[in-house]
Amino acid sequence: MPETPQYTFEYRNVKHPRCEFKTGSLLIVLPKKGWTPQQVLEKYGAWIKRKQATINTAVQQTNGTALVKDRTDKELRTLVQKHAEAAQKDLNTKINKIYYRKMTTKWASHSQNNNLTINTQLKHLPETLISYIIYHETAHSIERKHNENFWALIKRKHPDFQAKEKSLLTYWFLIQKQATVP
């Protein structure tokens, strides 16, 4: 009999159930009617196991990974501006404004108004990953969804995007781990 993963669940005003691993632990979000946690576990069990294995690997890799410790907020802004200009030129698009704030679930976001919001925690990442994140978000000016067309755009400039995505997951958990160390 398959092992039931550890999880928490909550009911929200949503149409469809979903599984989140934003903190590394499984959260099952359920509509207020029609679904039980067990139904979600049965339907998405294979995906949950794959995702948990990916997260476990990323967490293990944090032991051999180091954060950039001495980059200032001003230096981060300079790097982001440099890479945003390069991405806009390469993709022939325009970013309106760039905002900065500490974000708890993502590295950055792209709005429908062509604004970027950058997680200030990027200052702890190597420049190659900062460049990738900025390019990724700028590409959303052309393709909003993470579909085949989007990943083809990304692959033109970052053919190793899958490895970079894995590295970002490792850095995410390393930053989370560092935040809990007194």
User: Domain coordinates of the chain in residue numbers?
Assistant: 7-64, 73-160+171-180
Give the separation between CA 100 and CA 93, rounded to whole angstroms. 20
Q: How confident is the model at residue 24 (pLDDT cuts 50, 70, 90)?
A: confident
Q: How confident is the model at residue 157 (pLDDT cuts 50, 70, 90)?
A: very high
Can you say whether the dihedral through the CA atoms of 162, 121, 149, 45 is positive or negative? positive
Q: How confident is the model at residue 1 (pLDDT cuts 50, 70, 90)?
A: very low
Stated pTM of the model: 0.84
Distance of CA 136 to the CA centre of its chain: 11
pLDDT at residue 23 is higher than 80: no
Q: How confident is the model at residue 93 (pLDDT cuts 50, 70, 90)?
A: very high
pLDDT on residue 55: 87
Radius of gyration of the chain (CA): 18
Q: Which helix (H) or strand (E) holds 55?
A: helix 37-61
What mean pLDDT comes out for the span 122-149?
97
Q: What is the mean pLDDT of the chain?
A: 91
pLDDT on residue 179: 66
Fold of 73-160+171-180: Zincin-like (3.30.2010)
Give the separation between CA 106 and CA 120, rounded to whole angstroms. 11
Distances (CA, A) of 60 to 166, 170, 175: 12, 8, 13
